[in-house]
Structure 1
Amino acid sequence: MATTRIADIAYLPGGSARHTLDLYLPEPPPPAAVPLAVYVHGGAWRVGDKGEFGAVAEGLIAAAPGRQLAVAAVNYELAVRHPAHVDSAAAAVRFLATDRSYPGQRAVDRARVFLVGHSAGAHLAALMTLAPGHEGIGPIRGVVGLGGLYDIPALLDEYPDYRDFVDPAFGADDRAAASPACIAAHMRDDARRTRFLVVHSTGDELVGPAQAIGFAAQLMRAGHSDVTLAARDLGGHDAAPLSAGFWQLVCSLIFTSS
């Protein structure tokens, strides 16, 4: 079934392609505003483009009851030092939640915004939801992370070779402060109302279960009451976001949120 794609919407002035997003809407147009899933792609904080994830956006809409879901695939700063990547991703979410002039915005229910991130994108989605300094992104109803990199020091302990892409993005003094698992105990008050679904694919050959288990445990240890940890065989690291099982998990969170 068809979707409408509104491409290359600028969320910051200046003309950079890294500051654009694509908005996908169900076709025919929904009769009322629908929830919005903001997809933040992976790529080790250095590669990736929103245009590569149209199949994910279309799959999420197809999995939604009555296809009543909008999806935004966002670009953000790559190959930069922290916090430039998370700041730009947060600017995209803030724009979607607050701007009233972008095309297609009338179809978006601003009270039902959800973040969906994969790998490094799951790190960014969790970080902008939890960390002080990003309060302006508005109320986030839920976050779904798949194959996420939530604890950078622990990641390097388990995979020392990952310094190849971690070191250019995070200084030694930034790693814990930029790790959602490490700051969960100091999360913003508004984040305590956000639902978290932490997903690990048992077929993931690049990120083991410790990252997901550790992050979910830290959220619960901090007193967060709405955390779900899900382990499924969704395929390999890069294939998992394209699996129907993942799309169904995302929609289960979105459409069971009051």
Structure 2
Amino acid sequence: MVDEYLDIPYIASQPQTPFHKFDIYVPREIKTSSLCLLICFVHGGAWRSEDKSDHAVLARNLALSTGYPVAVPNYRLTPREATPDNIVRHPEHAKDILHFLEFICTAPDPRSSVESLSIHTHADDGATTGLPYQPQRLLLLGHSCAAHMLCTIFLDMPHGGRLYSSDIVLARTTTLVLSEGIYDIDTLLSSFPSYRKWFIEAVFGVHDSYADVSMTNAATKSGCGHIRWLIIHSKGDTLVDERQSQMAYDHLKSRAVEVCKSLDELIDEHNEILRGNQYIEIIRRHIQKIVATLE
């Protein structure tokens, strides 16, 4: 069984927006560990679509399979009909995820505030409350465009919009697991030129080259040397080619980052991998290895 705490705000603002809320799934038979691990799954959707609720089944299954709580945040999306008043462009999506991670690491002790959250229903919209689970270590999963967003947070991207994480977020993040990721926009467009008009220009602006937002041009960030990375890609993915993941893996290796890859275990389509058992099994095995080295 899994207890579900839904629509917890991670930014205190009025009026509350659904884009700045997250859900957390806590297994009742939680693994007892001094590490207090929390898995955070950040969804994809080309920076323009999807919602945390779309991944409720995945979150429940991850929680049950691993024995650790799973949090799924929303973030602002680039609107399909953009105007000067509503445009959301890179790195604003990643900024929201960074706000979420800062909240996760600094929220009040749940023993004093968990009563204000409702199991299987919605948290009070009026205030930012404590967590039903207090993590000491974070295991971050990013799918598709979310892989790029996490790279923006945990690497020094070459452009001027780089993000600065607090020491506590960097210290508590143990591993990054990135699946079907977008890492190098120019290379992506060479394989899928239609993506330029579909979502790239809306998200990053109109440019001849997007090298300045490429993860493969990013430097390592101070305070992240302990983080282990796993790059996952499915042989059946027709939306993002394997070259993206291989480039990401090669770049991290060249920077002496501790990274491994799984490029030949999955065979399903881009989003279908999230509905199968094999993806969860890969995550479970990776977490098992991480925990073995930390305890």
Q: CA deviation at 1:28?
A: 4.2
1:181 aligns with 2:216: yes
Equivalent residue number for residue 147 of structure 2: 122
Q: String of CA shifts for 1:182-206, please: whole Å, max 9, x gaps.
A: 21xx121222221100000111111
Provide the secondary structure at the position in 2 that maps to 1:107: coil
Provide the secondary structure at the position in 2 that maps to 1:160: coil
CA 1:174–1:21 in structure 2 vs 1: closer, same or farther (change >3 Å)? farther
Q: Which amino acid is 1:123 matched to? A: H
Q: Distance in 1 between matches of 2:215 and 2:140?
A: 14
Q: Distance in 2 between matches of 1:233 and 1:88?
A: 30
Contact 2:41 2:73 in 1 (8 A): yes
Equivalent residue number for residue 7 of structure 2: 8
Q: Distance in 1 between matches of 2:75 and 2:224?
A: 22
Equivalent residue number for residue 73 of structure 1: 72
User: Which one of the candidate residues 139, 161, 176 is aligned to 2:194?
Assistant: 161
User: Which one of the candidate residues 156, 159, 164 is aligned to 1:134?
Assistant: 164
Q: CA deviation at 1:106?
A: 5.7
Moved more, 121-130 or 203-212: 121-130
Q: CA deviation at 1:256?
A: 1.5
Contact 1:127 1:179 in 2 (8 A): no
Counting only pairs closer than 5 Å after superposition, residues 83-102 of structure 1 correspond to structure 2 as: 83-101=91-109
Once superposed, what is the RMSD of the aligned Cα atoms? Answer: 1.9
Equivalent residue number for residue 273 of structure 2: 240
Contact 1:120 1:149 in 2 (8 A): yes
Segments of structure 1 that go 5 or more residues without pairing to the other structure are none
Q: CA deviation at 1:134?
A: 2.8
Q: Which amino acid is 2:134 matched to? A: V
Segments of structure 2 that go 5 or more residues without pairing to the other structure are 79-87, 115-129, 157-161
Q: Which amino acid is 2:144 matched to? A: S
Q: String of CA shifts for 1:5-38, please: whole Å, max 9, x gaps.
A: 1000100022111000001100145555631111
Contact 1:24 1:58 in 2 (8 A): yes
Q: Which amino acid is 2:77 matched to? A: L
Q: CA deviation at 1:247?
A: 1.0
Q: Normalised by the size of structure 1, how large is the TM-score?
A: 0.90
User: Which one of the candidate residues 177, 186, 198 is aligned to 1:144?
Assistant: 177
Q: Distance in 1 between matches of 2:30 and 2:229?
A: 29
Q: CA deviation at 1:127?
A: 2.0
CA 1:216–1:97 in structure 2 vs 1: closer, same or farther (change >3 Å)? same
Q: CA deviation at 1:109?
A: 2.7
Q: Normalised by the size of structure 2, how large is the TM-score?
A: 0.79
Provide the secondary structure at the position in 2 that maps to 1:105: coil
Contact 1:118 1:241 in 2 (8 A): no
Moved more, 242-251 or 162-171: 242-251
Q: Which amino acid is 1:179 matched to? A: S
Q: String of CA shifts for 1:153-195, please: whole Å, max 9, x gaps.
A: 1111111111110110003388333322221xx1212222211
Q: Which amino acid is 1:35 matched to? A: L
Provide the secondary structure at the position in 1 that maps to 2:202: coil
Q: CA deviation at 1:107?
A: 2.9
Q: Distance in 1 between matches of 2:202 and 2:256?
A: 33
Equivalent residue number for residue 230 of structure 1: 262
Contact 2:98 2:165 in 1 (8 A): no
CA 1:229–1:29 in structure 2 vs 1: closer, same or farther (change >3 Å)? closer
Aligned residues: 250
The structure number with the bigger radius of gyration is: 2
